[in-house]
Amino acid sequence: MTARHVVEQIMQKVPCLQHQQPQLLGQHQLNDANVGIYFGYEMNSLPSDLKHIYFFEPEIIYESVDLDTVILKLKPDIKLYPPPLTKFTDVTRLYHDTSHGHFIGHSQADIKKTDRYQIVTLTQSKIDEAKKWSMDFENVNGYDGIENKQRVLFHCSFVQGASGSPGFWINPRDSQAYVELMLLCGYPTWLYDKYQGNTRGIPNDHFVEQGVSMKSVYEDVKTRDVLLCNTIFGTS
């Protein structure tokens, strides 16, 4: 599972996938020797051969534009797969009022790191104020999609390259890590495209990050493919 826009960007860069983009990425064949995934990027070096790389089945088995989410399937391989994430939960806002969650990802395409995040709630007046400020500052609304009810707002230090990172909540009852969201983007959107995430000179209450809740993904996958839903999220 990852952010849909990440896969879209990959398809735009790989020569054999650069033909006209259909509305749904799933109409593509995600099948190219240059497209794979490496789960062990924890040091400043990449593997020199393919024995540590996993490749994808051609078809995208799930995608949602609204949730900016895709689910890809790895091809069968003689190598052992990394253990899957199997514990999920809804965003626990009461808990986040006094504590934080944890991301694991590759901010700025760097080695694997962790980051804390704090769930936030913006009032409509704050959102309207930020939109007005964006129009005055850059002559563009940099907050399209910020009011999507299926997504979650938070503050973290991860920037570009971290899209698709899972966000974990540590359940104090059993000390287990539960995936509650996936990082998607940050606002204002032009901050990352034009200023590479540099927040200098920008009021603190005008930039915020956004992710999709696992509950929203679960509910959407369940309506489309119960077997896939049970495979990922379990049957309970």
Confirm if 222 and 229 have CB atoms less than 8 A apart: yes
Confirm if 11 and 28 have CB atoms less than 8 A apart: yes
Q: How confident is the prediction for the chain on average, in pLDDT?
A: 83
Look up residue 39 and give its two tokens: 């789960």
Backbone angles phi, psi at 106, to 5 degrees: -125, 70
What's the CA gap between 173 and 180, in Å, rounded? Answer: 16
50-54-58-64 Cα dihedral, nearest 10 degrees: -140
Question: pLDDT band for position 91 (50/70/90)?
Answer: confident
CA-atom Rg of the chain in angstroms: 18
The residue ranking higher by pLDDT, 26 or 189, is: 189
Question: Could you give all domains of the chain from N- to C-terminal order, each with its CATH number?
Answer: 2-83 (no CATH), 93-217 (2.40.10)
What pLDDT digit, counting tens, does each position of 23-40 carry?
Answer: 566 656 676 667 888 777
Q: Span 168-191, mean pLDDT?
A: 90
Nearest Cα neighbor of 127 from 46, 54, 188 is 188
Instruction: Measure the N-to-C terminal CA separation of the chain; round to a whole number of Å.
Output: 20
The residue ranking higher by pLDDT, 52 or 55, is: 55
The pLDDT score that the predictor gives to residue 20 is 43
Name the DSSP class of 15: G
The pLDDT score that the predictor gives to residue 228 is 96
pLDDT above 80: residue 110? no
